Amino acid sequence: MTEQPQNLPDRPDIARIFGEVLQELRRARGLSQEEFGFECELHRTYISLLERGKRIPSLTTIIQLATALKVPPSEIVRRVESRLGWPIEKSHTEMRH
Amino acid sequence: MTEQPQNLPDRPDIARIFGEVLQELRRARGLSQEEFGFECELHRTYISLLERGKRIPSLTTIIQLATALKVPPSEIVRRVESRLGWPIEKSHTEMRH
């Protein structure tokens, strides 16, 4: 077993980066927060809180958002982990410093 | 724009399938719930609730679990969405019925 790079990011970072990714995906679909909230059956205020990194979504919420965005939920998480600099196993020999 | 297949799964399904995926990944690493809980700094009881589909994890928790499992968080979500039969855009021409 290899040594584990235990660089777990802070919660505020996770929330902030998730919010950035969510906002980008929403804008890419040309939706306002209100229209998007309607699509995913979530309140516009909650969308705004998520985008500003003030709330952390549950897996259910991620799936709800992804359905409205028409992207796989794993793609949203992949974008978040990529920005967090997740140490993906298959590339741990070429990890950035 | 194509018509959206709005088959959002139920919350209990999401929780149950997440629990199955989590248990399989934990067992594949040869860890007991207690050992795994120690690795991810979550209580064994909470691990048990997650595995039995009694709790839905937040994105932060998914990242915590993935770090201890040494798999990307998106890979966990990918496995869940695959079992939920997520309608991935690029393959919607060959969707199963």
Question: At B37, which CATH number?
Answer: 1.10.260.40
Look at residue B92 and tell me if it is in a domain: no
Cα separation, A16 vs B29, whole angstroms = 31
Establish if A92 belongs to a structural domain.
no
User: Is residue B95 over pLDDT 60?
Assistant: no
**pTM for the complete prediction?**
0.81
Structure tokens at A47: 């969308």
Q: Nearest residue on chain B to A3, judged by CA atoms?
A: B70
- Render B3-53 in DSSP notation, one character per residue: PP---PPPHHHHHHHHHHHHHHHHHHTT--HHHHHHHHT--HHHHHHHHTT
- The total domain count for chain A is 1
Nearest Cβ partner for A88 among B6, B15, B72:
B72
A81 in Cβ contact with B85 (< 8 Å): no
Cβ(A62)–Cβ(B13) below 8 Å: no
| DSSP one-letter code for A62 | H
Instruction: With respect to residue B6, please indicate whether it lies within any of the assigned structural domains.
Output: no
Q: Considering only CB atoms, which chain B residues are within 8 Å of A78? A: 72, 74
- One digit per residue, pLDDT tens: chain A, 97 residues? 333 445 566 777 999 999 999 999 999 999 999 999 999 999 999 999 999 999 999 999 999 999 999 999 999 999 999 999 876 443 333 333 3
Residue A50 structural domain: 11-83
The H helix count followed by the E strand count for chain A is 5, 0
Please check whether residue A4 lies inside any domain of the structure: no
B60–A11 C-beta distance less than 8 A: yes
Cβ of residue A16 closer than 8 Å to a chain B Cβ: no
What are the chain A neighbours of B75 within 8 Å (beta carbons)? 74
Answer yes or no: is A96 within a domain.
no
Query: CB distance B59–A57 less than 8 Å?
Result: yes
Q: Among A4, A35, A60, A84, pick the best mutation site for testing chain B contact (most B Cβ within 10 A).
A: A60
Give the alpha-carbon dihedral of A65, A66, A67, A69, to 10 degrees: 90
In a domain, B27, yes or no: yes
More confidently predicted of A77 and B89: A77
pLDDT at position B90 over 90? no
What ipTM was predicted for this assembly?
A: 0.81
How many residues are there in chain A?
97
Which tokens is A8 given?
Answer: 């777990």
Q: Is residue B23 part of a domain?
A: yes
**B96 within some domain:** no
- Is A55 strand, coil or helix? coil
CA distance A38 to chain B (A): 13
